[in-house]
Amino acid sequence: MNILFKKLKLTDQKRILALNVPDHFQNDIDEEIADGVLIDHERMPSTEYDFAVTFVSSADELGAEAYMISKSLSKENPTLWISYSKSDSIDSNEAIEIMNSMNFTKTEEVQLDDDWSAFRFAR
């Protein structure tokens, strides 16, 4: 498994949702397909995901993406990562507030590379 998904703690999930992936992470995302992981780059309304990651550039985008993703997350112990660039104007407290309003709690934060970080949220 590649370093990106190791950092995001992908374990035995076989169907994941990866939205708005920046170009420089695309090879890492595509590499997982060879390992038997099915990756959707668009949310399929009839599909239930145990693992989702989205890359956002604003608090408004974060709220909209998280709301739509939450409709497709499995009911039991889903993994939801919200990734943001340090160069964007996302305030971490505001991001946590938005997610708390949707009954998600921040459980972890990781550094993906020199520019991108990610918050893990749970219900």
Residue 121 pLDDT level (bands cut at 50, 70, 90): very high
Q: How many domains does the chain have?
A: 1
Note whether residue 74 is domain-resident: yes
Residue range 67-98, pLDDT digits in tens: 999 999 988 888 899 999 888 778 888 888 99
Note whether residue 37 is domain-resident: yes
Output the pLDDT for position 99: 92
CATH no. for residue 37? 3.40.50.150
Range of the domain at 27: 15-122
Residue range 24-75, pLDDT digits in tens: 888 877 776 666 778 899 999 899 998 999 999 988 899 999 999 999 998 8
Note whether residue 9 is domain-resident: no
DSSP 42-110: S--TT--BSEEEEEESSHHHHHHHHHHHHTTB-SSS-EEEEEEETTS---HHHHHHHHHHTT-EEEEEE
Note whether residue 30 is domain-resident: yes
Instruction: Tell me the pTM.
Output: 0.89
Note whether residue 5 is domain-resident: no
Note whether residue 89 is domain-resident: yes
